[in-house]
Each structure stands twice: as structure tokens, then as C-alpha cells.
Structure 1
Amino acid sequence: MIKNIIFDFGDIFLNLDKPAVFRNMEAFGFEEMTMEMDTFAKQYETGLITSNEFIKTLNALYPKATETDLIVAWNSILLDFPEYRLEFLEQLKEKGTYRMFLLSNTNDLHIQHVAQTMGKTRFERFKTCFEGFYLSHEIKMRKPNTEIYEHVLALNTLIPEETLFIDDTKENTDSANKMGIQCWNLQVGEQDIIELTQRL
């Protein structure tokens, strides 16, 4: 029996355009994602480097761009947060049937942009739906590493078999599933979070 639900953020509630960053960076000389760049991005996502350090390092790699250009390109992945999804989440919270948590791989620039774009009132409406609001850059861990799931489970005394984790990335749900957590690997474009009640 499901008692707890852990939600991802991007492409679960907030629409994303994942290739947009690379598409927009091409104007500055970006050609392909290297292993070094991937490691660097993950360091930022786990809060090991600051936004200032992140942008300055990118600027050194792509001097054609201004720092503002780079921030705009970096945030171009972030699209809209449909109101119907927020209302669905609020209705689910209001029922009080499940303990609800957010667990997102994100970074400071992205979360600031989302909060600003949504507006203070809407962002607070979103945050207050959750008992725990876990962002990778704040807790210094990221999915799919096992430690991040262990952290959320232990901190909130959650039993894996009573917990449903929803994420659009199969690598993340596979990792959680190995720990006994029930999972829904949501297929973006084919499924929507508002179908959740049919799965509980």
C-alpha cells in the first residue's frame, strides 16, 4: 500500500526542452558534450561549485558569449509549469492520504529562474504541497546515486515498499527500484502526472 510519494520536478510538473541549452550554446562555439563538461555540470548540480564559478568557467571556455548570454542559454531548458498540474498537486495534498516529497536534480540558477518565472505566490503554492523539498545542489547529492534515496527515506522514516517514486529518467527509477521503492518512469509526451490517481 502506497503511503508516500516522491516526485521529480522537471518534465513531471515543469515542462523542459532538454536539447535547448546545447542548441543555444552552438552560437558560442559549443560542439559536443564532453566527459569533462558533463562532470563539471554534475559538480554544479551537487553544489560543489557556485553559480559564479560555473558561469565564469563557461565564459572562459566560450569567450564569444557574455555571462548574461550564458545564463540565458543555460536557463533555456526551462519552459512552463501548467496550472492544471499545480491544481492537481494541491488537490492531492488536500486529501491528506499521502506524505509528499520533491526530489530534483537541479542547480541554483535553474531554481532561481523557475521561482522568478512562476512568481512568488505560485512557487510557494508549489513548495507547500510537500513535506520535504530536496534539491540536489542543496543536499550535495544527485540521482541516480543510491545515497540520495537513502537520505530521503532515512530522514523521513519511509518504508521503501510503501513509497512511490515518479521520475521521467529511467536510470533514476531503476536505481530507486533496486532499493525496493515502487516506481513510475513517466513517459514524457505520452503520460501526464495527473494520471497518477489511476495508478494508486
Structure 2
Amino acid sequence: MIKNIIFDFGDIFINLDKEATYKELAKLGVTEITDEMLQQYYQYEMGLISTEEFINFFYEKFSIPKKDLVFAWNAILLDFPKHRLAFLKKLVVTNKYRIFLLSNTNDLHISWIQNDWGMKLYNEFKNCFEQFYLSHEINFRKPNANIYEFVLNENKLEASETIFIDDTKENTDAAKELGMHVWHLIPGDDDVVDLLKRKEFIA
């Protein structure tokens, strides 16, 4: 029986354009994503370097002005369909499940979302979750096993009673390895509002 639901954020609740940042960086002269750049990204996503350090890396490497990098970096972020918030709020009201968010994200993205949505809507969304875990705040990132173990252990969750929803297969594969139920949601084909129609929830 499912007692706990762990949701990803991007392309689960907020829509993303995953190619947009690459396209915007290409306009700024960055046409190849190197291992060094990826390592900077991973470090930033785990909160191990600051926003200033992250931006300075690109400025020193490519002479990209701060405002242009921030624009390119946040280009991935799109709209938040309100029917998903309505679904989430209805799910909370049932009081049947413990509900968590677990997202690989960073300070620039969260700052953009807070500004774009406004803090009232952001807090309305955030308050739907028992815990709201952002990778840059907890210093772990998916698909590393330690991020899932952290959430399970901190909240005394049984993996077999927990479902994890994410749009990235390597993330759901990692959770499945630890014994969780998973839904690898395909953006454009699936919508999180159909979660309770899945076999795990149907007696």
C-alpha cells in the first residue's frame, strides 16, 4: 500500500523547455558543454558553490555578462499549469498520503520562480508538502542514492510504501533500486494529475 508520495518539480508541476538554455548559451558563443562545465553545474546544483561563483566561472571562461547568463540559465523555466496545483491541493485534503517534493534545482531557478509566480503562489505550492527538498539546500542531487536515502531516513519512510515521480529515467531507476515504486512520467504524454489512476493506487 502506498503511504508516501515523493514528487519531482520540473516537468511534473512546472513545465520546462530543456533545450532552451543550450540554445541561449549558443547565442552567447557557448556551443559545447564540456565536462568542466557539467561539474560546475553539479556543484552549483548541490549548493557547493555560490551563485556568484557559478556566474563568475562562465564570465571568466567565456566573458558572458551576468544578466545574459542569468537569462540563458532561466530560459528552461516555463509556466505552471494551475490544474496541477488544484490536483495537489485535493490530494493534500484527502490526508491519505505523506507528500514530499524532491528536486534537483539551484538558487537562480528558485529565485526566478519566486519572482515569476509571486511569493503568495510559491508558498501556497510549497505548503502542500510535508517537506520541500531542493538539492542546493540539502547538498545532494539525483540520481545519487544518498539523496533518496536521506529523504527516507529523515522521515522514517518505508521504501516499499513510497512512490517517486520524476521525468528523468535515471532518477526513477535509482529510486527503484532502493525498493521504491516509481513513475517515470513522460512530459507531453503524461500528466501528474493522473497519478491516482495508476495501479499502485487501485485496490
TM-score category (smaller protein): over 0.9
2:39 corresponding residue in structure 1 = 39
Q: Please tell me the residue identity of whatever aligns with 2:165.
A: I
Correspondence 1:59 to 2:46: no
Equivalent residue of 1:166, what SS?
Answer: strand
Report how far residue 46 of structure 1 moved: 0.3
1:138 corresponding residue in structure 2 = 137
Q: Indicate the RMSD between aligned Cα atoms, in angstroms.
A: 0.7
Equivalent residue of 1:5, what SS?
Answer: strand
2:113 corresponding residue in structure 1 = 114
Q: Please tell me the residue identity of whatever aligns with 2:2.
A: I
What is the TM-score normalised by the length of structure 1?
0.98
Number of residues paired by the alignment?
A: 199
What is the TM-score normalised by the length of structure 2?
0.97
Q: Distance in 1 between matches of 2:171 and 2:48?
A: 21
Report how far residue 51 of structure 1 moved: 0.3
Q: Distance in 2 between matches of 1:102 and 1:180?
A: 18
Q: Taking every aligned residue pair, what percent have the same amino acid on both sides?
A: 53
Q: Distance in 1 between matches of 2:30 and 2:115?
A: 27
Q: Please tell me the residue identity of whatever aligns with 2:156.
A: T
Report how far residue 56 of structure 1 moved: 1.1
2:22 corresponding residue in structure 1 = 22
Q: Distance in 2 between matches of 1:46 and 1:77?
A: 18
Report how far residue 23 of structure 1 moved: 0.1
Deviations 1:144-198 (Å, cap 9, x if unpaired)? 0000000000000000000000000000000000110000000111000011110
Q: Please tell me the residue identity of whatever aligns with 1:117.
A: D
Deviations 1:47-87 (Å, cap 9, x if unpaired)? 01000111111111221x32101101100000011111111
1:99 corresponding residue in structure 2 = 98
Equivalent residue of 1:148, what SS?
Answer: helix
Report how far residue 39 of structure 1 moved: 0.9
Equivalent residue of 1:111, what SS?
Answer: helix
Q: Distance in 1 between matches of 2:168 and 2:95?
A: 27
1:170 corresponding residue in structure 2 = 169
Q: Distance in 2 between matches of 1:121 and 1:40?
A: 32
Q: Distance in 2 between matches of 1:177 and 1:71?
A: 35
Q: Please tell me the residue identity of whatever aligns with 2:78.
A: L
Q: Please tell me the residue identity of whatever aligns with 1:62.
A: F
Q: Please tell me the residue identity of whatever aligns with 2:123.
A: E
Q: Distance in 1 between matches of 2:5 and 2:115?
A: 26
2:83 corresponding residue in structure 1 = 84
Unaligned runs of 5+ in 1: none
Unaligned runs of 5+ in 2: none
